[in-house]
Amino acid sequence: MGWFDRWRRARQVETARAELFDETFQRRLEYLQVAARRLFAGRLRAERKTRKAGSGLEFAAHREYTAGDDLRALDWNVYARSERLLLKQFEEEEDLTIAVLVDCSGSMLHGPAKFDHARRLAAALAYVGLANLDRVALYGVNTRVLKRLPPARGKGQIFKVFDFLRGLECGGETALADAGRSFGAEQKRRGVAIVVSDLYDPQGFERGINALRYQKFEPLVVHVIDPDDRALDEEGDLVLVDVEDGHAREVTLTEAMRRRFGEVHAAWCAEVEAFCKARQIAYAPARVDQPFEDQVLTLFRRMGLVG
């Protein structure tokens, strides 16, 4: 590739990144924000806080006194009755942190629209979060955390979100469980973790979601679906190559096999939704071929973001 071809390709990438969140898209976010103002009580709104034992005002429980504890927390009424040294514990409110994890594995580049769609969805989630919630952070992941945007609040941070999402690049394999553990290891606070992914994980999408659950995060799943993924257009002797690990396999495709492939893909999508439903995990399919505004509002409703 000559210098002119490299320059032209770089310009094309730069233009595509600029158009990803252009003025039209920003106006769409404003519309979505207006539509999402009726956030109902509970679920992911700013008034929702996580609870932990601390120094708040609401009594939670007693615990035994140990040397070095603050004597001011002793419950003297209990001591007067039973001569037991017990400390009063109170519930402390803590800001809720919303983390948006964007799948940056190689499969997200299969088809021209999937990765862009995922990044626009992540931007919409972040925008509503920044406008209505306490803290929003973003992460690009494949087998680990590749890139991170620290927690922030306020709508004015959306331009940093745009820059972060524009800078994400796809590549490598998918291992959502490893990525989830990597993500959890660097978090001091637990909160909501929104996974935006096609969920093509050879180790099983369940492991990735469970990795977040076991670390005390509340996972929400945005399943990015490209109908072209379930369509095999060719027949005959072919070589199929895995877009992530490069593994190749020679196959002979027939019309019956093509139909069967579509059926298996549809069954797998239903399996993902059933898995989430059984564990009371909010799940929203996000098809790349549907109108963005309608789809995002449906996504918000399914995930409990609007009434």
Q: What would the pLDDT profile of 162-179 be if each residue is shown by its tens digit? A: 999 999 999 999 999 999
- 31 plus 56 within the same structural domain: no
What pLDDT, on the 0 to 100 scale, is given for residue 36?
Answer: 62
Residue 215 in domain: yes
- 188 plus 41 within the same structural domain: yes
What pLDDT, on the 0 to 100 scale, is given for residue 115?
Answer: 95
Contact 137, 98 (CB under 8 A): yes
What pLDDT, on the 0 to 100 scale, is given for residue 1?
Answer: 46
Residue 264 in domain: no
Q: For residue 223, what are the CA distances in angstroms to 121, 162, 187, 227?
A: 11, 21, 24, 12
Burial of residue 25 (CB within 10 Å: 0-12, 13-18, 19+) is middle
What pLDDT, on the 0 to 100 scale, is given for residue 89?
Answer: 64
Residue 140 in domain: yes
- 80 plus 159 within the same structural domain: no
Rounded to 10 degrees, the C-alpha dihedral 18/24/29/33 comes to 160
pLDDT tens readout for residues 121-165: 999 999 888 877 668 999 999 999 999 999 988 888 999 999 999
- 135 plus 173 within the same structural domain: yes
- 80 plus 128 within the same structural domain: no
What pLDDT, on the 0 to 100 scale, is given for residue 7?
Answer: 37
Q: What is the CATH number of the domain that holds 117?
A: 3.40.50.410
- 130 plus 211 within the same structural domain: yes
- 73 plus 126 within the same structural domain: no
Residue 307 in domain: no
- 107 plus 199 within the same structural domain: yes
What pLDDT, on the 0 to 100 scale, is given for residue 211?
Answer: 95
Residue 66 in domain: yes
What pLDDT, on the 0 to 100 scale, is given for residue 112?
Answer: 66
Supply the range of the domain harboring residue 79. 50-94
- 58 plus 102 within the same structural domain: no
- 70 plus 40 within the same structural domain: no
What pLDDT, on the 0 to 100 scale, is given for residue 97?
Answer: 83
- 173 plus 123 within the same structural domain: yes
Q: Model pTM? A: 0.76
Cα 162–Cα 116–Cα 274 angle in degrees, nearest 5:
110
- 73 plus 26 within the same structural domain: no
Q: Which residues of the chain have pLDDT under 50?
A: 1-18, 39-48, 51-56, 91-93, 307
Residue 259 in domain: no
- Single residue among 39, 65, 94 that ends a domain in this structure: 94
Residue 127 in domain: yes
Q: For residue 120, what are the CA distances in angstroms to 10, 157, 186?
A: 21, 16, 25
Question: Domain tally for the chain?
Answer: 2
- Single residue among 33, 63, 94 that ends a domain in this structure: 94
What pLDDT, on the 0 to 100 scale, is given for residue 75?
Answer: 82
Residue 203 in domain: yes
